[in-house]
Protein backbone atom coordinates (compact mmCIF):
# COMPACT_ATOMS: atom_id res chain seq x y z
CA UNK A 1 0.00 0.00 0.00
CA UNK A 2 1.35 3.43 -0.88
CA UNK A 3 2.27 5.85 1.89
CA UNK A 4 0.87 9.36 2.11
CA UNK A 5 4.24 10.56 0.80
CA UNK A 6 3.88 8.42 -2.33
CA UNK A 7 0.29 9.54 -2.88
CA UNK A 8 1.32 13.20 -2.52
CA UNK A 9 4.25 12.72 -4.91
CA UNK A 10 2.00 11.29 -7.63
CA UNK A 11 -0.58 14.05 -7.12
CA UNK A 12 2.23 16.60 -7.57
CA UNK A 13 3.33 14.84 -10.75
CA UNK A 14 -0.19 15.14 -12.13
CA UNK A 15 -0.23 18.87 -11.31
CA UNK A 16 3.19 19.41 -12.91
CA UNK A 17 2.34 17.42 -16.03
CA UNK A 18 -0.88 19.36 -16.51
CA UNK A 19 1.01 22.63 -16.14
CA UNK A 20 3.72 21.48 -18.58
CA UNK A 21 0.98 20.59 -21.08
CA UNK A 22 -0.68 24.03 -20.65
CA UNK A 23 -3.62 22.59 -18.76
CA UNK A 24 -5.06 23.72 -15.46
CA UNK A 25 -3.42 21.76 -12.61
CA UNK A 26 -6.70 21.97 -10.71
CA UNK A 27 -6.69 20.91 -7.09
CA UNK A 28 -3.90 18.36 -7.45
CA UNK A 29 -1.10 20.42 -5.89
CA UNK A 30 -3.21 21.67 -2.99
CA UNK A 31 -4.48 18.18 -2.26
CA UNK A 32 -0.90 16.84 -2.40
CA UNK A 33 0.04 19.31 0.31
CA UNK A 34 -2.99 18.27 2.37
CA UNK A 35 -1.99 14.62 2.06
CA UNK A 36 1.59 15.40 3.12
CA UNK A 37 0.38 17.32 6.15
CA UNK A 38 -1.73 14.45 7.51
CA UNK A 39 -0.31 13.34 10.83
CA UNK A 40 -1.11 9.95 12.26
CA UNK A 41 -3.60 8.97 9.58
CA UNK A 42 -2.79 7.13 6.38
CA UNK A 43 -5.13 7.35 3.45
CA UNK A 44 -4.57 3.72 2.58
CA UNK A 45 -5.76 2.78 6.09
CA UNK A 46 -9.20 4.33 5.69
CA UNK A 47 -11.88 1.72 6.44
CA UNK A 48 -13.64 2.64 3.21
CA UNK A 49 -11.86 4.31 0.29
CA UNK A 50 -14.87 6.15 -1.08
CA UNK A 51 -15.66 9.73 -1.98
CA UNK A 52 -17.10 10.74 1.39
CA UNK A 53 -14.26 9.20 3.44
CA UNK A 54 -11.59 10.94 1.39
CA UNK A 55 -13.55 14.19 1.36
CA UNK A 56 -13.92 14.07 5.16
CA UNK A 57 -10.19 13.54 5.57
CA UNK A 58 -8.94 16.05 2.99
CA UNK A 59 -11.59 18.74 2.78
CA UNK A 60 -13.02 19.44 -0.62
CA UNK A 61 -10.98 17.80 -3.40
CA UNK A 62 -12.94 17.43 -6.61
CA UNK A 63 -14.15 14.11 -7.98
CA UNK A 64 -11.22 13.73 -10.39
CA UNK A 65 -8.63 14.15 -7.60
CA UNK A 66 -10.49 11.65 -5.42
CA UNK A 67 -10.59 9.18 -8.32
CA UNK A 68 -6.83 9.63 -8.74
CA UNK A 69 -6.23 8.94 -5.04
CA UNK A 70 -8.36 5.80 -5.30
CA UNK A 71 -6.37 4.62 -8.34
CA UNK A 72 -3.07 5.19 -6.53
CA UNK A 73 -4.13 3.37 -3.37
CA UNK A 74 -5.65 0.48 -5.32
CA UNK A 75 -2.55 0.15 -7.52
CA UNK A 76 -4.39 0.94 -10.75
CA UNK A 77 -2.94 3.06 -13.57
CA UNK A 78 -3.43 6.75 -12.90
CA UNK A 79 -5.74 7.98 -15.66
CA UNK A 80 -4.82 11.62 -14.96
CA UNK A 81 -1.24 10.79 -16.02
CA UNK A 82 -2.01 9.66 -19.54
CA UNK A 83 0.49 11.02 -22.08
CA UNK A 84 -0.55 14.23 -23.82
CA UNK A 85 1.33 16.08 -26.57
CA UNK A 86 4.51 16.10 -24.42
CA UNK A 87 6.17 12.81 -23.38
CA UNK A 88 5.37 11.78 -19.82
CA UNK A 89 9.11 11.26 -19.28
CA UNK A 90 9.40 15.03 -18.88
CA UNK A 91 8.37 14.48 -15.26
CA UNK A 92 11.86 13.09 -14.64
CA UNK A 93 13.13 16.66 -14.93
CA UNK A 94 10.93 17.88 -12.08
CA UNK A 95 12.68 15.48 -9.70
CA UNK A 96 15.68 17.82 -9.72
CA UNK A 97 15.48 20.36 -6.94
CA UNK A 98 14.65 23.80 -8.28
CA UNK A 99 13.47 22.51 -11.65
CA UNK A 100 9.71 22.83 -11.77
CA UNK A 101 7.08 22.59 -14.45
CA UNK A 102 7.90 25.94 -16.09
CA UNK A 103 11.61 25.22 -16.51
CA UNK A 104 10.85 21.69 -17.70
CA UNK A 105 8.53 23.08 -20.36
CA UNK A 106 11.06 25.76 -21.35
CA UNK A 107 13.86 23.23 -21.87
CA UNK A 108 11.47 21.03 -23.85
CA UNK A 109 10.39 23.92 -26.07
CA UNK A 110 13.88 25.28 -26.65
CA UNK A 111 15.99 22.11 -26.80
CA UNK A 112 13.49 19.27 -27.26
CA UNK A 113 14.65 17.70 -23.99
CA UNK A 114 12.02 15.40 -22.51
CA UNK A 115 13.94 13.16 -20.10
CA UNK A 116 16.79 13.16 -17.61
CA UNK A 117 19.32 11.64 -20.03
CA UNK A 118 18.62 14.42 -22.54
CA UNK A 119 18.92 17.05 -19.83
CA UNK A 120 22.29 15.70 -18.68
CA UNK A 121 23.49 15.62 -22.29
CA UNK A 122 22.38 19.23 -22.81
CA UNK A 123 24.23 20.21 -19.62
CA UNK A 124 27.41 18.45 -20.75
CA UNK A 125 27.45 19.85 -24.28
CA UNK A 126 26.72 23.40 -23.13
CA UNK A 127 23.32 23.77 -24.78
CA UNK A 128 21.53 24.03 -21.45
CA UNK A 129 23.36 27.25 -20.59
CA UNK A 130 21.49 28.96 -23.45
CA UNK A 131 18.13 28.39 -21.76
CA UNK A 132 16.93 31.12 -19.40
CA UNK A 133 16.83 29.86 -15.81
CA UNK A 134 19.75 27.44 -16.15
CA UNK A 135 22.75 29.06 -14.53
CA UNK A 136 26.05 27.44 -13.56
CA UNK A 137 24.80 26.15 -10.20
CA UNK A 138 21.70 24.51 -11.71
CA UNK A 139 23.76 22.97 -14.52
CA UNK A 140 26.25 21.58 -12.00
CA UNK A 141 23.41 20.15 -9.93
CA UNK A 142 22.01 18.46 -13.05
CA UNK A 143 25.40 17.00 -13.96
CA UNK A 144 25.72 15.52 -10.44
CA UNK A 145 22.13 14.18 -10.30
CA UNK A 146 21.90 10.38 -10.20
**Percent of the chain topping pLDDT 90:** 73
**4 neighbors 61 (Cβ within 8 angstroms):** no
Shared domain check, 18 and 63 = yes
User: Which structural domain range is residue 131 located in?
Assistant: 88-144
Chain-wide mean pLDDT for the chain?
Answer: 92
146: pLDDT strictly greater than 80: no
> Mind listing the pLDDT tens digit for each residue in 50-76?
888 888 888 888 899 999 999 999 999
Shared domain check, 124 and 96 = yes
**95 neighbors 9 (Cβ within 8 angstroms):** no
**9 neighbors 3 (Cβ within 8 angstroms):** no
Shared domain check, 103 and 77 = no
- Domain with residue 99: its CATH number is 1.10.150.20
Amino acid sequence: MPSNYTIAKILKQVAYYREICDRNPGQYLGTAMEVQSLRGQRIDALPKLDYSSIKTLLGEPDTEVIQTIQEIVEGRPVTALQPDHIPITILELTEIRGLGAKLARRVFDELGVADLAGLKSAAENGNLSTVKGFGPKMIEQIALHK
